[in-house]
Amino acid sequence: MKPGNTPLVELANLAPEGTRLFAKLEWHNPTGSIKDRAAWFMFENARNQGHLPPGTQLIESTSGNTGIGLSRLALINGYPMTICLPANSTEERKQLLRAYGATLVEVDGGPNESIEVAKQLVADGEGFMCYQYGNPGNPESHEFGTALEIIRDWPLDAPPEHAFCAYGTGGTITGTSRGLRKSYPSIRIHSVEEFVHDPISGMRSQDDPFQPPVADLSLVTDRHEVTKPEAIAAVSTTMNLEGHFIGTSSGAIVHAAVNYLDAHGGTAVVLLPDAGWKYLSGDPWQ
């Protein structure tokens, strides 16, 4: 099953008065996150370019979701898969990765340390890495997928004035903004980021010393830094008002979008990367 064609729904109860807010529910992808899109593009490109002769081990560093998407593709296409991820990733993600047949290398530290370990495995000749942080297939999956679906499904006569995306590898915001700008030249693109010392799974900050080569933030017009407590509060509010159980980075996006619309008005689309169940065992859900 190919990822994409996720629902675009209105969040009428969350939208401040006089504004319209629509959300793309990315947990409706095969393994439950937006990263199925990038995984599919990167895997297909690697195979078409001859990087994956039978038996090649796939290696990836990931906070979880890209690894889960790639592990599914590795499993159904008969490739071994090794995932390097922060040791403190939630148990649900580790269980899911193992269920999809991946071997886990748990790394002390965060995503940046996991990248170094994965690169070393590749340097040692252990296998092929799609390297989501530098692979053009990552943003292309959004430029030619996510963005076109929003344009096709947007229900209002006037185009959306704002789009809000999380910034992690930069794949979503880079590709979606490229795709949306072709049809909506004046749309404002909002980058939703973690504070550099307050990590939210899957997200990063433009203040982080490592900036993914794949990220092109030249189309970004606005930047929002969201704390983890603010993101968690928005997860609860979204559950209470809309009945959607969203993940923590989605909470950060909702927080930024609702506050912005409240102050400035307008119409917006938010891309919600995943649902909340993968975070249930983590703080502060215990």
Ligand X SMILES: Cc1ncc(COP(=O)(O)O)c(C=O)c1O
Residues that bind ligand X (CB under 6 A): 33, 35, 63, 65-66, 166-172, 201-203, 247, 249, 273-274
Q: Is there a catalytic annotation at residue 63?
A: no
Those residues with Cβ within 8 angstroms of residue 116's Cβ, 6 or more apart along the chain or in another chain:
none
- CB nearer ligand X, residue 179 or residue 273: 273
Among 35, 94, 228, 278, the active-site one is 35
Closest to 259 measured CA to CA, from 14, 62, 66: 14
Using CB atoms within 10 A of its CB, is residue 165 exposed (0-12), middle (13-18) or buried (19+)?
Answer: buried
8-state DSSP, 275: B
Closest to 64 measured CA to CA, from 29, 95, 37: 95
CB 203 within 8 A of CB 212: no
- CB nearer ligand X, residue 137 or residue 170: 170
Quote the CA–CA distance of 155 and 149 in Å, as a whole number: 12
Among 33, 114, 201, 249, the active-site one is 249
Q: Is there a catalytic annotation at residue 33?
A: no
- CB nearer ligand X, residue 111 or residue 127: 111
Residue 227 Cβ vs ligand X, minimum distance, rounded to whole Å: 16
Residue 13 Cβ vs ligand X, minimum distance, rounded to whole Å: 23
- CB nearer ligand X, residue 135 or residue 201: 201
Residue 201 Cβ vs ligand X, minimum distance, rounded to whole Å: 6
Give the residue numbers marked as catalytic.
35, 249
